[in-house]
Structure 1
Amino acid sequence: MPLVVSNLQEKLPVDEDLIGLLTRVVEAALADTVEYHDAEVGLVFTDNEYIADLNRQYRNVDGPTDVLSFSMLEGEPVQDGSDSIMLGDIVISLEKALQQAKRFGHGLTREIAYLTVHGVLHLLGYNHETDAEKKVMREKEEQILSRVLLPEG
């Protein structure tokens, strides 16, 4: 199983259909990588308060954000006795995702899928610090989402 989901919030429902879709999103994001196509990703759903605490603690930024990625590939590799690679954890505020879905005029499911693929790409080393990096990352995000039948918008 490429995706391990933890739901640490109670404000918005998380159902099996959403988890199935996000599993396909993660599989599609990892499919093009040789070394990580079988990797495992942790996905944690939170509320704004929880992610704001993480944002403050790890990025020294006050306030909630939509998604944070925590790579397990930095530093010394951890051996757990299995052959699988734990790529890292993605933390998504479902509250923030709902706010953004409304602002961008698309559904909550698409926003959560977008934030998931965005987080996976960060775990794989993609970034959006420069305009060129941002363009590459956005194109990759939309390619992956279209593979799982989520059109732009």
Structure 2
Amino acid sequence: MLDVIVLDDKQKELDNDDAKLVKKVLAFAFDFMQLKQNYEMSVNFVNDEKIHQINKEYRNTDRATDVISFALEESDRIHIDGVAEELGDLFISLDHAHAQAEEYLHSYNRELAYLAVHGFLHLLGYDHTRSQAAEDEMFGLQDKILEGYGLTK
């Protein structure tokens, strides 16, 4: 099971259409990947200004971006039988999601789902920046998950 909490930029839990989509697509991704461990994670919806601040402070990159993932290192995770393991936190810029949906000529829902799945895979340890093979694997998996969910390009 995957427990996802979706928060706004004031750390209030959301239950709007965007939050529902992200929860559903991440639950689908969890099942698609046949994960056995119970996990929990947060998804934070922010604007470009906030994600720029986060990117600058934590990644030394002075620009806004679409999604940032903060995975808990395996050594920092607490393992208790029967208790969900914390994966980490995602920050998704809704400004970027809207702009990229237009740029890539697909729906906003597809872009938002893509960013959520992309971040989720990072939390699980996938890293497309390591090599071309790692990029092919991660992006291929993202596409399969989104296609399986019914969100195609």
Query: Shift of the alpha carbon at 1:85?
Result: 1.1
Measured in 2, the distance between the counterparts of 1:58 and 1:35 equals: 31
Query: How far did residue 80 of structure 1 move?
Result: 8.7
TM superposition shift of 1:25: 1.4
Q: Which residues of structure 2 form unaligned runs of 5+?
A: none
What does residue 5 of structure 2 align with?
A: 4
Q: Identity percentage over the alignment?
A: 35
Give the drift of 1:24: 1.9
CA distance in 1, matches of 2:75, 2:58: 16
Which residue in the other structure is 2:145 paired with?
Answer: 144
Amino acid at match of 2:20: G
Structure 1 segment 4-153 matched on structure 2, within 5 A: 4-8=5-9, 16-31=16-31, 32-36=33-37, 38-78=38-78, 83-129=83-129, 130-151=131-152, 153=153
Distance between the aligned counterparts of 1:95 and 1:87, measured in 2? Answer: 25
CA deviation profile, 1:37-75 (whole Å, cap 9, x unmatched): x21120000000100011011110001000000112344
Deviation track 1:64-98 (CA, whole Å, cap 9, x = no partner) reads 00000011234422479971111111100000111
TM-score normalised per structure 1: 0.86
What is the alpha-carbon distance in structure 1 between the residues aligned to residue 22 and residue 76 of structure 2?
28
Structure 1: 5+ residue stretches without partners: none
Count, aligned residues? 147
- Cα deviation, residue 147, structure 1: 2.1
In 2, the alpha carbon distance for the partners of 1:90 and 1:5 equals 9
Flag the 1:81–1:131 CA change in 2: closer, same or farther, 3 A.
closer
The Cα shift of 1:29 comes to: 2.1
Report the CA distance between 1:145 and its aligned residue.
0.9
How much has 1:27 moved relative to structure 2?
1.4
Distance 2:93 2:80 in 1: 29
Distance in 2 (alpha carbons) for counterparts of 1:5 and 1:67: 14
Counterpart Cα distance in 2 of 1:34 and 1:3: 15
In structure 1, how many angstroms separate the alpha carbons of the residues matched to 2:86 and 2:77? 10
What is the Cα-based RMSD across aligned positions, in Å? 2.1
